[in-house]
Amino acid sequence: MSDDHHPGAETAGKSRPAATVAAVRAAVAGHAPDFLADLRDWVSIPSISADSRHHADVVESARWLAEALRRDGWPLVEVWDTTSAGPMLPAVHACWPAEDPDAPVVLVYAHHDVQPVDPVTAWDHPPFEAVLVGDELFGRGVSDDKGQVLMHLLALRAHLDATGRTAPAVTVKLLVEGEEESASPNLARLLADHADALACDLVVVSDTQLLGRDTPSVCVGMRGLADAEVVFHGAASDLHSGQFGGAVVNPAVALAKLLAALHDDDGRVAIPGFYDDVRDPDPAERAAFARLPFDEAAWLAGPGAGASAWGEAGWSTLERLWVRPTVEVNGVHSGYTGPGVKTVVPRQATAKLTFRLVPGQRVARVLDLLRDFVAARTPHGVRSEVRTGRGGFDPAVVEPGDPATGAVVDALRMVFDHDIVPARSGGSGPAALLTDALGAPLVFLGAGLSGDHVHAPNERVAVPLLHRGAEAAAVLWDLLPGRLARAGGGTEEHTA
Amino acid sequence: MSDDHHPGAETAGKSRPAATVAAVRAAVAGHAPDFLADLRDWVSIPSISADSRHHADVVESARWLAEALRRDGWPLVEVWDTTSAGPMLPAVHACWPAEDPDAPVVLVYAHHDVQPVDPVTAWDHPPFEAVLVGDELFGRGVSDDKGQVLMHLLALRAHLDATGRTAPAVTVKLLVEGEEESASPNLARLLADHADALACDLVVVSDTQLLGRDTPSVCVGMRGLADAEVVFHGAASDLHSGQFGGAVVNPAVALAKLLAALHDDDGRVAIPGFYDDVRDPDPAERAAFARLPFDEAAWLAGPGAGASAWGEAGWSTLERLWVRPTVEVNGVHSGYTGPGVKTVVPRQATAKLTFRLVPGQRVARVLDLLRDFVAARTPHGVRSEVRTGRGGFDPAVVEPGDPATGAVVDALRMVFDHDIVPARSGGSGPAALLTDALGAPLVFLGAGLSGDHVHAPNERVAVPLLHRGAEAAAVLWDLLPGRLARAGGGTEEHTA
Domain ranges of chain B: 7-222+395-495, 224-286+317-388
Omega before B145 within 30 of 0, i.e. cis: yes
Q: CB of A427 within 8 Å of any CB in chain B?
A: yes
**pLDDT above 50 (res B108):** yes
Contact status, residue A373 vs residue A271, Cβ threshold 8 Å:
yes
Q: What is the CB neighbour count within 10 angstroms for residue A132?
A: 15
> What CATH class does A7-222+395-495 carry?
alpha beta
- The model's pLDDT over B187-209, given as tens digits with 9 standing for 90+, comes to 999 999 999 999 999 999 999 99
Q: Mutation target for B interface from A243, A255, A317: give the one with most B CBs within 10 A.
A: A243
| Residue type present at position A441 | P
Contact status, residue A95 vs residue A172, Cβ threshold 8 Å:
yes
- Identify the closest residue of chain B to A223 by CA–CA distance: B242
pLDDT at A9: 37
pLDDT at B490: 40
B171-177 and B86-96 as β-strands: parallel, antiparallel, unpaired?
antiparallel
What is the longest distance spanned by two Cα atoms in chain B? 82
Is A257 close to B255, i.e. CB distance below 8 A?
no
Mean pLDDT confidence for B364-384: 96
Contact status, residue B345 vs residue A328, Cβ threshold 8 Å:
yes
Contact status, residue B175 vs residue B93, Cβ threshold 8 Å:
yes
Query: Considering only CB atoms, which chain B residues are within 8 Å of A334?
Result: 329, 331-333
Query: Considering only CB atoms, which chain B residues are within 8 Å of A301?
Result: none
Mean pLDDT confidence for B226-244: 92
- Identify the closest residue of chain A to B209 by CA–CA distance: A243
- The model's pLDDT over A353-408, given as tens digits with 9 standing for 90+, comes to 999 999 999 999 999 999 999 999 999 999 999 999 767 899 998 876 789 999 99
A326-335 and A348-357 as β-strands: parallel, antiparallel, unpaired?
antiparallel
Query: What is the CATH code of the structural domain delimited by B224-286+317-388?
Result: 3.30.70.360
The predicted complex's ipTM stands at: 0.86
pLDDT at B492: 39
Contact status, residue B493 vs residue B199, Cβ threshold 8 Å:
yes
**pLDDT above 80 (res B215):** yes
Contacting residues for B37 by C-beta, under 8 A, at least 6 apart: none
Going across the sheet that includes A105-111, the strands are: A76-83, A86-96, A171-177, A105-111, A202-205, A442-444
Would you say the C-alpha torsion A234, A238, A239, A241 has a positive or negative sign? Answer: positive
Among A63-72, A451-460, B45-54, B65-74, whose mean pLDDT is lowest?
Answer: A451-460
Is A252 close to B329, i.e. CB distance below 8 A?
yes
Would you say the C-alpha torsion B207, B313, A350, B248 has a positive or negative sign? Answer: positive
- Identify the closest residue of chain B to A347 by CA–CA distance: B307
| Residue type present at position A122 | A
The interface residues of chain A toward chain B in range 130-169, judged by CB-CB distance below 8 A, are none
DSSP 8-class letter at A191 = H
CB-nearest partner of B235 from A304, A332, A380: A304
DSSP 8-class letter at A8 = G
Q: Mutation target for B interface from A342, A378, A428: give the one with most B CBs within 10 A.
A: A342
User: How big is the A-B interface in CB pairs under 8 Å?
Assistant: 344
- Identify the closest residue of chain A to B263 by CA–CA distance: A253
Is A182 close to B456, i.e. CB distance below 8 A?
no
pLDDT at A8: 37
Is A352 close to B332, i.e. CB distance below 8 A?
no
Burial B459-488 (b: 16+ CB within 10 A, else e): bbbbbbbbbbbbbbbbbbbbbbbebbebee
Q: CB of B19 within 8 Å of any CB in chain A?
A: no
Q: CB of B349 within 8 Å of any CB in chain A?
A: yes
Q: CB of A263 within 8 Å of any CB in chain B?
A: yes
Is A455 close to B240, i.e. CB distance below 8 A?
yes
pLDDT at B8: 37
Query: Considering only CB atoms, which chain A residues are within 8 Å of B430?
Result: none
The interface residues of chain A toward chain B in range 290-309, judged by CB-CB distance below 8 A, are 300, 303-309
Q: Which of A230, A231, A228, A232 is nearest to A389 (CA)?
A: A228
Q: Which residues pair with B221 in a beta bridge?
A: B397
- Spans of chain A below 50 pLDDT: 1-19, 488-496
CA distance B112 to B189: 19
> What CATH class does A224-285+319-388 carry?
alpha beta
Are B7-222+395-495 and B224-286+317-388 the same fold in CATH? Answer: no
Is A345 close to B326, i.e. CB distance below 8 A?
no
| Band of pLDDT at residue B240, cut at 50, 70 and 90 | confident
pLDDT at A400: 63
Is A307 close to B450, i.e. CB distance below 8 A?
no
CA distance A31 to A265: 54
**Cα within 13 Å of Cα(B277), Cβ side:** 15
| Band of pLDDT at residue B261, cut at 50, 70 and 90 | very high
User: pLDDT: is B487 or B93 the higher one?
Assistant: B93
Helix (H, G, I), strand (E, B) or coil at B99: coil
Q: What is the DSSP string of B3-31?
A: ----GGGGS--TT--HHHHHHHHHHHHHH
Q: Mutation target for A interface from B53, B259, B345: give the one with most A CBs within 10 A.
A: B259
DSSP 8-class letter at A281 = P
- The model's pLDDT over B270-324, given as tens digits with 9 standing for 90+, comes to 999 999 999 998 898 899 899 998 888 888 887 777 888 999 999 999 999 999 9
- The model's pLDDT over B110-149, given as tens digits with 9 standing for 90+, comes to 999 999 998 889 899 999 999 999 999 999 999 999 999 9
What is the longest distance spanned by two Cα atoms in chain A? 82
DSSP 8-class letter at A496 = -
| Band of pLDDT at residue B486, cut at 50, 70 and 90 | low
CA distance A442 to A399: 10
* CA B474 to the chain's CA centroid: 21
| Band of pLDDT at residue B487, cut at 50, 70 and 90 | low
Q: CB of A242 within 8 Å of any CB in chain B?
A: yes
Contact status, residue B296 vs residue B311, Cβ threshold 8 Å:
no
Query: Considering only CB atoms, which chain A residues are within 8 Å of B247?
Result: 309-311, 317, 320-321
Going across the sheet that includes A396-397, the strands are: A396-397, A217-222, A421-425
Is B252 close to A236, i.e. CB distance below 8 A?
no
Is B250 close to A329, i.e. CB distance below 8 A?
yes
Q: What is the DSSP string of A229-280?
A: EEEEE-SSS-EETTTTTTTB--HHHHHHHHHHTSB-TTS-B-STTTTTT--P
Q: Which of A21, A7, A14 is nearest to A411 (CA)?
A: A21
**pLDDT above 70 (res B350):** yes
Q: CB of B313 within 8 Å of any CB in chain A?
A: no
Burial A251-260 (b: 16+ CB within 10 A, else e): bbbbbbbbbb
CB-nearest partner of B324 from A246, A249, A456: A246
| Band of pLDDT at residue B3, cut at 50, 70 and 90 | very low
The interface residues of chain B toward chain A in range 383-422, judged by CB-CB distance below 8 A, are 383, 389
pLDDT at B400: 63
Contacting residues for A22 by C-beta, under 8 A, at least 6 apart: A9, A10
